[in-house]
Amino acid sequence: MAEKLDLSQFEKKMIIRPMEYGDIEHIIKMQEVCFPGMDPWKVEHLESHLDIFQEGQLVAVLEGEIIGSCSSLIINFDEYDDRHTWDDVTDNGYITNHNPEGYNLYGIEVMVHPEYRRMKVGHRLYEARKELARQLNLKSIIIGGRIPNFYKHSEEMSPRDYVDAVSLHKIYDPVLSFQLLNGFTLMRINPNYLPDDKRSQKYATLMEWNNVDYRPLSKRHFKTSHPVRICVVQYMMRKISSFEEFANQVEYFTDVASDAKSDFVVFPEIFTTELMSFLNIKSPSLAVRKLTDFTEEYIELFTDLAVRYNVNIIGGSHFVKEENDEIYNIAYLFRRDGTIEKQYKIHITPNERKWWGISAGDTVRVFDTDCGKIAIQICYDIEFPELARIATDKGAKIIFTPFCTEDRQGYLRVRYCSQARAVENQIYTVISGTVGNLPQTENMDIQYAQSGIFAPSDFEFARDGIVGETNPNIEMVMIGDVDLEVLRRQRQSGTVRQLKDRRHDVYGISYKK
């Protein structure tokens, strides 16, 4: 009888196991082969992955050789912006934002060595991820998937058209087609997801697989949020020698706001009068007329800064000469998409009329932005409650008030009225003022301010209705977050509901425009 055949000599064992520290060099070399032209992992990235969440880092091993891997972390996906990038969701590749109490497994990479493709290695890694999600009782797996064949079609179709074509099997994409076959559904398409992914043209498909075995074990629940970050500049007036010096100061504060990921940066009323300090014109009315010569430079400066630093700018206000030689006090909104709007000051103070001959505007405007509807009411205008009510009825959720006051009494009028408008209209209000002095400039010689962000007064808002405030009379910025979704909820179910409870049968405001 012939000897039994030893089948073990023909066996090829493929296993999926957690990554180990000794695997790191092999994985980096494999990544260089899998993704040529893209920046590979650094050793410290993978060490951080293993230190923080080793069970989420998997490798496929065939006959002792690593032929594939995948990396992931746990997050609460609702906490991330729809437009998030790979760097956002991985903390620049270190996954230090991993949340063991989160609800979603987020996959940040899958790769298979080119020599071992068509062996279902990727499928095995995906199945191992799904099993991990079941073991950890996670709601879903979310991935930001590359579309590496998009570059072949980008001239004749949009990312959306390409994804539709792949979904209908009209085009094959090695990543997206694979993900669809593995039970993932499309959530959205994110631009600028991976800056070095030239084949995908930086786009990624956000995909999700839902764990049908998920069972809630916590009483925690989430409410939606619409956060807006505001940087308020309390600007010190000082003697300068050129427009360039003014521009340098403005760019510095815009840079600060951008670094803090602010949605808006707010400058004070007529802070461009700082330019008068080098004009050497003693007559205030003549100095103001000369100041209007800088209007185009002012607009070009702020438009460039808004786009370059990706922040919406309330450019304080500036004296502008228009038709019939009339001079107006105008606040400009410079959106980060490069578009511009303007609001004329409607109520002119006796001081402005006496010294500068300023003319009044006559329209209450509300502006659409990428953070909702806003209004601008310059200094004295916030002291007239009708204007804020008109803006609120037009949909404004935030009223920005650039101001310039020379003494504490004037400042307090602006502050108290701004806080009152926040309560009356259930909106957020923001005031930004000038400090310092210009000793040689008539009618702009002294300033007093304490800038701030104010909210309605109710339980869900900041204590005392103050989101934040600067110290009085020194140059500084204050950065605060407001939430438009909290505002919406409180208008519907707050302790008091000023907007809903108005007696339209008894009184009303008639806006003549």
Spatial distance between the Cα atoms of 135 and 141, rounded to a whole number of angstroms: 13
Spatial distance between the Cα atoms of 261 and 305, rounded to a whole number of angstroms: 14
Q: Are strands 318-321 and 264-266 parallel, antiparallel or unpaired?
A: unpaired
Residue 242's SS3 state is coil
Q: Is 345 a catalytic residue?
A: yes
Residue 254's SS3 state is helix
Spatial distance between the Cα atoms of 191 and 303, rounded to a whole number of angstroms: 24
Please name the amino acid found at residue 421. R
Q: Is 379 a catalytic residue?
A: yes
Task: Tell me the C-alpha to C-alpha distance, in Å, between residue 344 and each of 127, 322, 360, 378, 450.
Answer: 62, 12, 7, 8, 23
Spatial distance between the Cα atoms of 314 and 249, rounded to a whole number of angstroms: 15
Task: Tell me the C-alpha to C-alpha distance, in Å, between residue 268 and each of 86, 209, 511.
Answer: 37, 49, 27
* Active-site choice (139, 202, 342, 345): 345
Q: Is 417 a catalytic residue?
A: no
Q: Which of 214, 210, 266 is nearest to 434 (CA)?
A: 266
* Active-site choice (70, 231, 379, 404): 379
Cα-trace Rg, the chain = 30
Question: Hey, what are 50's tokens?
Answer: 């293993």
Spatial distance between the Cα atoms of 295 and 290, rounded to a whole number of angstroms: 10
Spatial distance between the Cα atoms of 313 and 290, rounded to a whole number of angstroms: 24
Buried residues in 341-371 as b, exposed as e (16+ CB within 10 A)? bbbbbbbbbeebeebbebbebeebbbbebeb
* Active-site choice (70, 109, 231, 269): 269
**E-assigned strands of 79-226?**
104-112, 140-145, 185-190, 204-210
Any idea which residues carry the catalytic annotation?
Answer: 269, 345, 379
